[in-house]
Amino acid sequence: LMFIPSAFTPNRDGRNEFWKPEGLGVEGDKYEVWVYDRWGKIVWHATDFSESWDGTYMESDDIVMQGIYTWKVIAGDEKVEKGFHEYYGTVTILK
């Protein structure tokens, strides 16, 4: 079971600064998340379920532009036949 927020505000005001999928029963060694910009470029990637995205480009301190970003999550689940779930959606960055 996953809950994935649809928006956040990484404007460094101390409120709602991070985006992170949450879930129950996720196997830590079988987890990956990607966030893409409108051109399909990866702006953030993580393999650790405890990591959160702070709205910056990979390996940068620059916050991405306000807008809609596409994400993909693969989360391990030994209770399903293929051993994992795939989730897709969008997250809106508001500043």
pLDDT tens per residue, the chain (95 residues)? 789 999 999 998 999 999 999 988 776 678 999 999 999 999 999 999 999 999 999 888 899 999 999 999 999 876 666 778 899 999 999 98
Three-class SS state of 44? strand
Residue entry with tokens 């959606």:
89
Tokens of 24: 């129950």
Which of these, 49, 48, 35, 33, lies nearest to 91 by C-alpha position? 35
What's the pTM? Answer: 0.89
Q: What is the pLDDT of residue 59?
A: 80
Q: How far apart are CA 3 and CA 21, in angstroms?
A: 6
Q: What is the pLDDT of residue 16?
A: 95
